Chains A and B, each alone.
Chain A
Amino acid sequence: MRCSAGAVTVSEPLAQPGAEPPLPTARPGSALLRWLVVLLIVLAGLFQALQLQINDDALDLLPGEAVRGDLSLLQRLGLVDRLFITLTVDPDYYPSANEARAALQQGVERAGGAMAASELLAEVVYRLPPDLVRKLPQALEPYLPVLLDGQDLAALAPKLDEAGLARIMADNFNLLNSPAGMVVKRQVQHDPLGLLPPVLQKLSRLQQEHDGAMVDGFFLSEDRLSALILADSNRSLTDSRGAAEVDALLREVMAANLPTGVDWGIIGSLPHTLANYQAVQRDLRLLLPIASGLLLTMLLVALRDSRVLLVLAIPFLAAPAAIAVMGLIHGRVSALALGFGIVLIGIAVDFAVHIYLALAREEGGPRALLRRLLRPVSLATLTTAGVFVVLLFSQVPSHGQMATLALTGILLAVLFSWLLLPTLIRPRRRPPATWFTPPVLSSWGSRLLVLCLWAGLLVGGLLSWPDLQYTGDLRVLDAPDARVLADEEHFRDTWGREGEQAFIVAAAADLAQARDYNDQVYRHLQQHHGSSFQSVAPLLPGPAVQRQRLADWQAFWAARGEDFPARFRQAAAQAGFAPGAFDSFLARLTAEPRLLDAEAILTGPLRPMVSMMLRRPEEQGKDHRPAEFLLLTTAELTDTDQLPELLAWADGQPGITVLANQKWRQQVERLLRHDLAVLTSTAALLLFLLTVIFFRRPRSVLAVLAPVLSALAAMILFSRLTGGELNMMHLLMGIMVIGLSVDYGIFVVCARGERRSATTLLAVSICAASSMISFGVLAFAQHPALHSLGITVLCGIGAAWPTALLVSPVLAGKVLTTGAAAVPTGEGQG
Chain B
Amino acid sequence: MMMSNLWQMSKKNVLLLLLLVLILPTASGTAGQAEELAALLQDVDRAAAEMRGMSCAFTQEKELAMFDRPVVFRGKLDLVRPDRLRWEFASPINSVLIFKGDSGLRCDGDSPPVRFDLQRDPVMRMVARQLWLWLGGDHHRLAEEYHLTLAGAATLLIEPKDPGVAEFVTSLTIDFDPDTHQPRQVEIREAGGDLTRLVFHDCQPDPDPDDALFSRCGDGE
Contacts and interface: CB of A to CB of B under 8 A. Distances in A.
B164 A179 contact: no
Contact of B168 (A174, A179, A185, A576): A185
B72 to A, nearest CB: 10
Nearest to B85: A179
A581 B127 CA distance: 23
Contacts of A189: 66
A180 B169 CA distance: 12
B63 to A, nearest CB: 11
Contact of A183 (B64, B97, B111, B123): B123
A224 B68 contact: no
B108 A577 contact: no
A176 B70 CA distance: 12
Interface string B129-149: 011000000000000000000
Interface stretch (A126-134, A553-561, A769-777): A126-134
B168 to A, nearest CB: 5
Interface string B30-48: 0000000000000000000
A481 interface: no
B97 A131 contact: no
Given A180-B124, A213-B120, A576 B67 contact: yes
B95 A577 contact: no
Contact of B68 (A134, A181, A182, A578): A578
Given A130-B164, A131-B164, A177-B62, A183 B68 contact: no
A623 B79 CA distance: 64
Nearest to B72: A177
Nearest to A175: B108
Contacts of B112: none
A578 B164 contact: no
A830 to B, nearest CB: 92
Contact of B127 (A130, A180, A578): A180
Given A182-B196, A579-B68, A581-B66, A174 B87 contact: no
B167 A578 contact: no
B151 interface: no
A178 B68 contact: no
A578 B65 contact: yes
A152 interface: no
Nearest to A101: B119
Contacts of B167: 134
B186 to A, nearest CB: 11
Contacts of A177: 60, 62, 71, 73, 89, 95
Contacts of B130: 182-183
A174 B93 contact: yes
Given A133-B122, A174-B95, A186 B68 contact: no
Contacts of B108: 171, 174-175
A215 interface: yes
B156 interface: no
Nearest to B62: A177
B131 to A, nearest CB: 6
B123 A184 contact: yes
B131 A179 contact: yes
B168 A182 contact: yes
Interface residues of A, number: 32
B126 interface: yes
A189 B194 CA distance: 14
A134 B106 CA distance: 22
B190 interface: yes
Contacts of A186: 168
Contacts, number: 83
Contacts of A179: 87, 97, 127, 131
A573 interface: yes
A134 B164 contact: yes
A215 B188 contact: no
B174 to A, nearest CB: 15
Interface in A222-238: 224
Decide if the interface of chain B is mainly helix, strand, loop or mixed: mixed
Interface string A204-224: 000000000111000010001
A392 to B, nearest CB: 60
Question: Chain B: interface residue count, which band?
Answer: 35 or more
B191 to A, nearest CB: 9
B185 to A, nearest CB: 16
Contacts of B190: 182, 185
A675 to B, nearest CB: 52
Interface string A164-176: 0000000101111
Nearest to A224: B119
B164 A176 contact: no
Contacts of A213: 119-120
Contacts of B67: 173, 176, 576-578, 581
Interface in A564-579: 573, 576-579
A577 B66 contact: yes
Contacts of A183: 123, 126-127, 130, 168
A176 B190 CA distance: 12
Contacts of B109: 174
Residue from B68, B169, B194 whose CB has the most chain A CB atoms within 10 Å: B68
B92 to A, nearest CB: 9
A775 to B, nearest CB: 58
Nearest to B190: A182
B68 A577 contact: yes
B164 A576 contact: no
Contacts of B188: 182
Contacts of B131: 179
Residue from A182, A186, A577 whose CB has the most chain B CB atoms within 10 Å: A182
B115 to A, nearest CB: 15
B68 A576 contact: yes
A178 B89 CA distance: 9
A254 B108 CA distance: 48
Contacts of B194: 185
Contacts of B168: 182-183, 185-186
A603 to B, nearest CB: 20
Given A177-B60, A178-B97, A573 B68 contact: yes
A335 B108 CA distance: 69
Contacts of B68: 573, 576-579
Contacts of B122: 133, 214
Contact of A180 (B62, B69, B97): B97
Contacts of A133: 122-123, 126
A174 B97 CA distance: 11
Interface string A578-610: 110100000000000000000000000000000
B66 A176 contact: yes
A157 B196 CA distance: 34
A189 B66 CA distance: 8
B41 to A, nearest CB: 23
Nearest to A573: B68
A177 B89 CA distance: 9
A125 to B, nearest CB: 18
Residue from B122, B126, B164 whose CB has the most chain A CB atoms within 10 Å: B122
Given A185-B168, A578-B67, A578-B68, A178 B123 contact: no
A568 to B, nearest CB: 14
B170 to A, nearest CB: 10
Given A178-B97, A182-B169, A215 B119 contact: yes
Given A182-B169, A214-B122, 8 more contacts: A131-B164, A133-B126, A176-B62, A184-B123, A213-B120, A576-B68, A581-B66, A581-B67
18 contacts: A130-B164, A133-B123, A133-B126, A134-B164, A174-B95, A177-B73, A178-B95, A178-B97, A179-B127, A180-B97, A180-B124, A182-B130, A183-B126, A185-B168, A213-B120, A224-B119, A573-B68, A576-B69
Closest 9 CB pairs of A and B: A133-B122, A581-B66, A578-B68, A180-B127, A182-B168, A213-B120, A131-B164, A174-B108, A215-B119
Interface of B: 60, 62, 64-69, 71, 73, 87, 89, 93, 95, 97, 106, 108-109, 111, 119-120, 122-124, 126-127, 130-131, 164, 167-169, 188, 190, 194, 196
